Structure 1
Amino acid sequence: MDTEASHTQRDRSSPDEGEGRSRFAFSGARLRRPGWFTWRRAGLLGVVCTVFLLLLSNFVVQPFLIPSRSMEPTLAIGDRVLVNKLAYGSGAQPERGDLVVFDGTGSFVPERAGDDNPVGEALHGAASALGLAEPSDTDFVKRVIGVGGDDVVCCDAGGQLVVNGVPVREPYLYPGDTASKVPFRIVVPLGTLWVMGDHRSQSRDSRDHLGEPGGGMVPVDKVIGRADWIGWPASRWRSLGTTSGSGGSGGGHG
């Protein structure tokens, strides 16, 4: 009798134990599933953020890594400037003193045949757009010295640039540099810019292309945007602003 009762008790307990194991297994499955979904969500979030940053850099603000000394002391090697791509929207034009990033193809560098690796170019372009790689060798950052219609002369008796008869003060020049060791006088064609680096002795700019097709002028439609801020490193965070000044139609740099 006791034996039968014992069997009966075990038989009755078996479903409960099975049900408990089932509940535990189901609970464990539920505990494991969120981890798998979290990794998938993290990956998806990373893709979404990358796409967002690429769209932002293509249409609004693009980081630009400074690779040379040509804009010292304003910009140093390794600085990441934020280029405002909306600065010249709605008919706005570059002004004297603006720091502009532009595509120098056809003005500073010759047109290429286009036989480069398209995949490599695309990957480098994406990294450059995120400020993770040096810019394309066709992209440049310089300061606007003359706009369409300006008469730019170097130099007057005091060693200063003269724009439309007005001497230009250039407080941004690298210490010890002169306005230019190369004398020139040019009239900037409409729709183009005359640009120079702040570190004149280390800058290849419009002066170096005077004798080439285009005469060193940068078409306005080749301007990518205006460098408005230094975004990195943190110790150099600041707004770059502009240095356009007054002086009649010529306007000196402030």
Structure 2
Amino acid sequence: MVRAGARRAGKGRHRPFWVELPLLVGVALVLALLIKTFLVQAFSIPSESMQNTLQKGDRVLVDKLTPWFGSEPERGEVVVFHDPDGWLDGVAVDPPNTVQKVLGFIGVMPSAEEKDLIKRVIGVGGDTVECAGDGPVKVNGKALDEPYVFPGNTPCSNDGRGTFKVTVPQGRLWVMGDHRQASADSRYHRDDRNDGMVPEDEVVGRAVVVAWPVGRWSTLPVPAAFSTAAGAALLPGPAAAVAAAVPLVLLRRRRATSGADAHP
């Protein structure tokens, strides 16, 4: 007859590490895929079109979470988006090796097979964006102060396509690179099916941090010039509103609890 103490000892016995290792690896892969799909993904900067904000070869982390709470791209944000209509046609891409494919699939490294671009949002649905000659860029009649434009560049390009005046349809974005004279952005794709605009549903997420190389670590905030670009302050997204409301709710609950304790 087996004693109860012996049975408990048998149940508490740990399995060898080599038996648990495949399970741990499987859990890690599932977590990595969930993070890549719903939270954060790494992307590599493929060109000089966003200098000096971003350099070719930089790795940025892209926020994919807030769109799940209804947040939409806003003016001034640096966003990653899928190629909307052949913007990358003819651009050579080095084929990834097997390790890069695996690490890219789980989100540890930027995917080398996805055709994605990164630009700054200048106009959103309903905005009128224009520029003549060397600039400045105007959004709804207000000139933008753009200190992030590449040194020596003008805000616009004084050529046929660099001069424009467009009204952005709802659900679309007008995007431009910070290296204005080296960026084939919305200005140069106005003959595509989207009139050079980027559909919001093609946006992967907002780039929020330069994560690599370590010496270039920095955040990517929205420049102050965009806070009143449309003639009114930009409203915070739903996620920010929820975050702001939580402390108020907790404070109210704490006061209510204190009041109940004081009056039995």
Is TM-score (shorter-chain normalized) higher than 0.5? Answer: yes
Q: Does 1:163 align with 2:143?
A: no
Match of 1:138 among 108, 111, 115: 115
Instruction: Quote how far apart the aligned CAs of 1:66 are.
Output: 1.2
- Per mean C-alpha deviation after superposition, the further-off stretch among 181-190 and 90-99 is 90-99
- Partner Cα distance (1:129, 1:76) in 2: 24
Structure 2 match to 1:80: 59
Aligned pairs, how many?
207
On the 8 A contact 2:150/2:178 being kept in 1, the answer is yes
The 3-state SS of whatever aligns with 1:101 is strand
3-state SS of paired residue (1:204):
coil
CA change 1:40–1:201 in 2 (3 A) is: farther
Structure 1 residues 146 and 234, CA, compared in 2 at 3 Å: closer, same or farther?
same
Cα RMSD after superposing both structures: 2.8
Deviation at 1:50, TM superposition (A): 2.7
After superposition, the C-alpha distances for 1:48-88 in whole angstroms (9 at most, x for unaligned) are 32331121011111111112111111111221111001233
What secondary structure sits across from 2:67 in the alignment?
Answer: coil
Among candidates 168, 172, 194, match of residue 188 of structure 1: 168
The answer as to 2:151 corresponding to 1:175 is yes
- Structure 1: how far apart are the matches of 2:179 and 2:191? 22
Corresponding residue to 2:126 among 127, 139, 149: 149
Match of 1:89, SS state, is helix
Contact 1:148 1:188 in 2 (8 A): yes
Shift in Å, 1:105: 3.5
Cα drift, residue 192 of structure 1: 0.3
Q: 2: distance between equivalents of 1:248 and 1:52?
A: 40
Aligned partners of 1:64 and 1:129 also within 8 Å: no
Give the equivalent residue in structure 2 for 1:48. 27
Conservation of the 8 A alpha-carbon contact between 2:139 and 2:230: no
Residues of 1 paired with 2:25 and 2:215: CA distance? 28
After superposition, the C-alpha distances for 1:218-239 in whole angstroms (9 at most, x for unaligned) are 1111111111111122212221
Q: Deviations over 1:89-138 (max 9, x none)?
A: 3332211100111112437358xxxxxxxxx99x8485165252454452
CA shift in 2, pair 1:70/1:39, >3 Å: farther
Q: Which runs of 5+ in 1 are unaligned?
A: 1-33, 111-119
Matched, 1:234 2:214: yes
Q: Which has the larger radius of gyration?
A: 1
Q: Please give the secondary structure, in 2, of the residue aligned with 1:142.
A: strand
In the alignment, structure 2 segments of 5+ residues that lack a partner are 1-13, 90-96, 235-264
Check whether the contact 1:128–1:136 (CA below 8 A) recurs between aligned residues: no
**Aligned twin of 1:116:** none
The separation in 1 between residues aligned to 2:102 and 2:149, in whole angstroms, is 31
For 2:16 and 2:120, locate their aligned partners in 1 and report how far apart those are by CA, in whole Å: 50
In 2, distance between residues paired with 1:66 and 1:129? 19
- State the partner residue of 1:114: none
Q: Distance in 2 between matches of 1:125 and 1:205?
A: 31
AA matched with 2:228: S
